[in-house]
Amino acid sequence: MKQFIRSLGFAINGLRIAVASQPHMKFHLGAAMLVAATGIYFNLSGVEWGLVILAIGLVISAELMNSAVEGLVDFIESKRNQQAGRIKDIAAGGVLVASMAALAIGVLVFYKYIFA
């Protein structure tokens, strides 16, 4: 249990670092808060909340992984390097895919509330 609590502390510290240092993380958290407020306003069902929470978690997780990959690549290769750039672009592509999936979920969930 002691090791679990210690590991949880490391994970929370990682979240804190990402929020403090990554502008895209701030953007995604702001979008998540807007979506949550909209969900409260429209009184989403349990299934709709599940989809929204899953989409938010997917994007935040992808952004955390992207930030970690970029940080690691920058640590290993401080100079501009084509391969390093490709690795970072691929990680950023993962965030784009997660964001597009979240957008699709958002359209499916909120469409009936906004356009009906």
* 10-64 pLDDT tens trace: 999 999 999 999 999 999 999 999 999 999 999 999 999 999 999 999 999 999 9
With a CB cutoff of 8 Å and minimum separation 6, the contacts of 54 are: 105
For the CA atoms of 19, 36, 53, 12, what is the dihedral angle to 10 degrees? 30
In 3D, which of 46, 57, 47, 38 has the Cα closest to residue 114? 38
Domain ranges within the chain, ordered by starting residue? 2-115
d(CA 33, CA 39): 10
Please give the average per-residue pLDDT across 73-98, as a whole number.
Answer: 95
- Which pLDDT belongs to residue 105? 98
Query: What single DSSP character describes residue 77?
Result: -
Rg (CA), the chain: 17
Percent of the chain at pLDDT > 90 equals: 96
Please give the average per-residue pLDDT across 82-103, as a whole number.
Answer: 97
In 3D, which of 21, 8, 4, 5 has the Cα closest to residue 68? 21
At the second CATH level, the architecture of 2-115 is Orthogonal Bundle (1.10)
Percent of the chain at pLDDT > 70 equals: 100
**Is residue 68 predicted with pLDDT exceeding 90?**
yes
Q: What is this structure's pTM?
A: 0.91
